[in-house]
Amino acid sequence: MAEPVPVADQEFTITRILDAPPEIVFACWTEPDRMTWWGPEGTTTPRDTISVDLRPGGFWRLTMVNDLTGERYPTEGIFTDVEVPHLLRFSWADQGHRPADAPLVTVRFEPYGDGQTELIFTLAMHDLPAEKIRELLAIGIRPGWEQTIDRLRTLLAT
């Protein structure tokens, strides 16, 4: 039997202050024309790979492309909660996943200061098998999401 993953490693939260109101930040996560920023450093997300059905039970899909190698990283998920412009909750995994095998992402968009947003991103892997959690941690899931959110922060600051 595989050794369990410590509870502290099964979830992480990233918090950032973004220079735009919640309505705009939320739109950058949900409107395909605004989602081409998506992905960690060194990737591009072509507009024609992005689709969003913004409702509980709706799918989202996109494909990140490695800028150097051209390798493609198709990802998708299912929205479980949508509260415009305050909350998104969705599964996140490679395309073709089963929702039960995917981490659950919660993104909160809180008004902050003068026209800014406090973005609170939480990724939970509590229901995943230990082997899958270790695999995701090994490929750098947290740094990848930090880079992704920081790319959005840079975009909104310009």
Task: Kindly tell me if the per-residue pLDDT of 71 is higher than 60.
Answer: yes
End-to-end CA distance of the chain: 51
pLDDT digits (tens, 9 = 90+) for 4-56: 888 778 999 999 999 999 999 999 999 999 999 989 999 999 999 999 999 99
Query: 14-157 sits in which CATH class?
Result: alpha beta
Residue spans of the domains in the chain: they are 14-157
Q: What is the model's pLDDT at position 1?
A: 54
Tokens found for residue 151: 């790319």
Tokens found for residue 61: 């899909």
DSSP 40: S
Confidence category of residue 100, pLDDT binned at 50, 70, 90: low
Task: Kindly tell me if the per-residue pLDDT of 103 is higher than 90.
Answer: yes
Contacts of 135 (CB under 8 A, 6+ apart): none
